[in-house]
Structure 1
Amino acid sequence: MGVLGRLRGIRVPDSPGTGRPVARRGTFVAAAGAVLVVDALMLVTGPDFGALAVVAAVLLAGPVLLAWYRPMAGWAAMVVVQVLLGGMGIVLGSPLMVQPWLIHQLLAQFAVMYVVALSSPLWVTAGAFAVTTAAVGAVAALLGVDGQRLAMGMLSWVLALLVAVVLGHARRAMRLSTLRVAEELGRRRLLEERSRIARELHDVVAHHMSVIAVQAASAPYRIEGGVGEAAAREFAAINAAARESLRDMRHLLGALRGSGEAARTEPQPSLADLGRLVESVRRAGVPVETAIGDPVPSPSPVASLTAYRIVQEALSNVVRHAPGARTTVTVGDGAGGLTVIVENEPPARPGTAADGSGLGLIGMRERVAALGGGFTAGATEGGGFAVRAELPWESVAAPPGGDA
């Protein structure tokens, strides 16, 4: 049942990047219609079939249309129809109907075998090809056709089916190769984005670790009356641990950057820098309205950086994909934590949007996931676009007593 279930589940694959089937339905409808017309015209003029000619034409054309929905079902129907009509031709003594190499029959078989090869693994295609040639060839051998004509007809028929299989399998292999390349590219982009996020988070954490080291080293001299020997040793141990952690983090950062990337020394942005960011976007021609509150409790530096980067990337997307669109930026308390919302209306100048790679949304989603928050992005009912991030208070709340 497992193998049969897999065969029943075979469908015409989708084209990479579009989500639409590789083989279009309209093409199969047209092919089935052509097979129906050609078969009906040829069989009506043949002897002995009479009214059965139309029925035979429908049976020959049906598998072509069925193959678009269920490739293996279409193939099975094709084999059964060929054997059935071949036996009927033998009984009726018709020399026209039962020869599978005739063009009006070969058209249908070619289309079906192409779809099977396009949609199925190689072992399935090879099995279908073998069963088809064995079953239909056995009937063809009973036609009573002279040996030379039978040999030439069978050879041309098998070669035509083989061409259909090779073409279908080649297109399937090309599609799978494209999917593998796209998957590898997506994985590489995701790793690059995560490395960039890790570098930025390192800068934030390293700053606070430096503060810890300095405070631990200077505490014995800042406390009035001095400290005992045990407390001094404790502060020294804290200072040593903080410095060791900083060294380890710098080594990790060097590995993430790679040898060809220079270290960056400027401070990382935060929610306090959103005003300058919004103003720069306004100068680019995007009317931006802001509703930036003072979240309580105050977000940690990591969460503040995450919120800034989300707004920055969302506004960059508006500039690229919806130039001139009215945009609203909302940052403040939400039901579950710090809420960041960037929503824009449709572009003021339709048709000016640029194509994008999708990396911006990937980066925003990865940043929010790193803090255990929630992220959504999608089109609005009015034709615009909205980005929403929820950073839970458990991840963004500052520790009691202020910064470290």
Structure 2
Amino acid sequence: MLRDLRGVRVPTAPGSDQPMLRRRPFVVLACGLLIWQALFFAVSGGFGILAVPVAALVAGPVLWAWHRPVAAWAAMTAAAVVPTGLGLVLDSLIVPLPWYFDQMLAQLPVMYVLALSAGVRVTAAAFVLTLAAGAAVALPQDMEPDRLARGLLSWALALLTAVILGYARRVRRLATLRVAEEVGRLRILEERARIARELHDVVAHHMSVIAVRAASAPYRIPGGVNEEVAREFADLNAAARASIQDMRHLLGALRGSGDAPRSQGPQTEPQPGLDDLGKLVESVRRAGVPVRLSAADLELSPVQSVTVYRVVQEALSNVVRHAPAAETTVTVAAADDRVTVEVENRPPRRPAAPAPAGSGLGLIGMRERVAALGGRLTTGATDEGGFAVRAELPRGDGG
């Protein structure tokens, strides 16, 4: 349980490191309770100058629960005991009890957040200890048994309700995260299959060229070739065709649907690459986005070339959707043994119109493509309020 206590934090919102609960309701409730409790303890309780610190002890855990639920619960348990004990010491006309409505207003949010953030063992132990602490200060008082029983029972039911609501939200959140994780895993597999299909198209094109040239070489060479050379070209042709067939089998396995239909055959049209960036940028300009392209004259392998194109394509698509009319710079350059691709846009000139929900595969696809070549992709907001996508690819043998 001690290990569980050390790791208890309010769950974060998906995709960020900020707590999933908003801070403002906790601040408003804590301030309201502080004022109300200070007046109550000073006027009705006769606490005098001690009213303010006692009120802060009662209201403080509400604000603390937003960030540290276990520490907030410990302070709340003390806050349930201190006002009662101090009222008895000062012989107050009204001795505050833990189940008074104003004190429960401070306890219920803390128990709710604790149940949302911690496991069942921690929450159950905290619930029992809270009731035990309250009962310890209430039992010694000269109070009718019926009133004491009603007070403890109503208090226990109120705390239990907060715990159940918090635990229910915790279970619902964990179930949602599991589903989202599974969906994300499926999307990654789908994106990898799509990348495999595109790589298949690139490689199949070149292998088809090799097969055709190997088969026709004996007839194209002036004067013909001897029998040994002809057999060598035939072997090259057979190896190229076998490689194409193997790629088809692999692609079918990635699709999860068996071999590709024989009637389709490999696609021999090459995928777009570095030489097609100009057309891509021009199409984006026609969509109203001012784009400046700076691409070095590089010699890349077909796989590297299509990866550069797809990264730029997806980054520009995001600019069109989320930063309309934003000035954008596309840079493709070589640095040492690496190829750097950078797409950076300034803040949009006008608010983006609501866009239909996408597939969520944009960044996933870029990251998978770059990682497949041993590269690295970084994305994030710029200091000027824009957004930047930067990919680094090793040049390898294709540079």
| TM-score normalised over the length of structure 1 | 0.84
Task: State how far apart, in whole Å, the 2-side matches of 1:102 and 1:395 are.
Answer: 76
Which segment drifts farther, 32-41 or 218-227? 218-227
Q: 1:236, CA displacement in angstroms?
A: 4.6
From 371, 390, 393, the counterpart of 1:391: 393
1:1-400 pair list within 5 angstroms: 3-4=1-2, 6-17=4-15, 19-46=17-44, 49-94=47-92, 96-218=94-216, 226-227=225-226, 229=228, 235-257=233-255, 265=267, 266-295=269-298, 298-352=299-353, 354=355, 357=358, 358-394=360-396, 396-397=398-399
Task: State how far apart, in whole Å, the 2-side matches of 1:92 and 1:146 are.
Answer: 21
Unpaired runs of at least 5, structure 2? none
SS of 1:132's partner is helix
Cα separation, partners in 2 of 1:236 and 1:47, compared to 1, 3 Å: closer
Cα separation, partners in 2 of 1:137 and 1:190, compared to 1, 3 Å: same
Unpaired runs of at least 5, structure 1? 398-404
Which segment drifts farther, 218-227 or 377-386? 218-227
Q: For the Cα contact (< 8 Å) 1:270–1:304, is it kept in 2?
A: yes
Aligned length, in residue pairs: 392
Which segment drifts farther, 4-13 or 108-117? 4-13
SS of 2:143's partner is coil
Q: 1:219, CA displacement in angstroms?
A: 5.0
Task: State how far apart, in whole Å, the 2-side matches of 1:351 and 1:219 are.
Answer: 57
Q: For the Cα contact (< 8 Å) 2:324–2:352, is it kept in 1?
A: no
Q: Deviations over 1:254-296 (max 9, x none)?
A: 333465999684432222333332332333333333333321x
Q: For the Cα contact (< 8 Å) 2:284–2:316, is it kept in 1?
A: yes
Supply the AA of the counterpart residue of 1:325. A
Cα separation, partners in 2 of 1:168 and 1:395, compared to 1, 3 Å: farther
Q: 1:307, CA displacement in angstroms?
A: 1.7
Cα separation, partners in 2 of 1:46 and 1:269, compared to 1, 3 Å: closer
Q: 1:227, CA displacement in angstroms?
A: 4.1
Q: 1:156, CA displacement in angstroms?
A: 0.4
Cα separation, partners in 2 of 1:316 and 1:159, compared to 1, 3 Å: same
Identity %: 62
Cα separation, partners in 2 of 1:220 and 1:175, compared to 1, 3 Å: same
Cα separation, partners in 2 of 1:92 and 1:170, compared to 1, 3 Å: same
Q: For the Cα contact (< 8 Å) 2:316–2:343, is it kept in 1?
A: yes
Task: State how far apart, in whole Å, the 1-side matches of 2:198 and 2:344 are.
Answer: 25
Task: State how far apart, in whole Å, the 2-side matches of 1:112 and 1:333 are.
Answer: 56
Q: Which residue of structure 2 lines up, in the alignment, with residue 402 of structure 1?
A: none
Q: 1:122, CA displacement in angstroms?
A: 1.8
Cα separation, partners in 2 of 1:331 and 1:101, compared to 1, 3 Å: closer
Cα separation, partners in 2 of 1:84 and 1:321, compared to 1, 3 Å: closer
Task: State how far apart, in whole Å, the 2-side matches of 1:327 and 1:167 are.
Answer: 48
Q: Deviations over 1:38-67 (max 9, x none)?
A: 333333344664444444323222322332
Supply the AA of the counterpart residue of 1:158. A
SS of 1:26's partner is helix
Task: State how far apart, in whole Å, the 1-side matches of 2:280 and 2:124 are.
Answer: 61
Task: State how far apart, in whole Å, the 2-side matches of 1:382 and 1:100 are.
Answer: 52
Supply the AA of the counterpart residue of 1:244. A
Which segment drifts farther, 127-136 or 43-52? 43-52
Q: For the Cα contact (< 8 Å) 2:321–2:352, is it kept in 1?
A: no
Cα separation, partners in 2 of 1:69 and 1:278, compared to 1, 3 Å: closer
Cα separation, partners in 2 of 1:227 and 1:133, compared to 1, 3 Å: farther
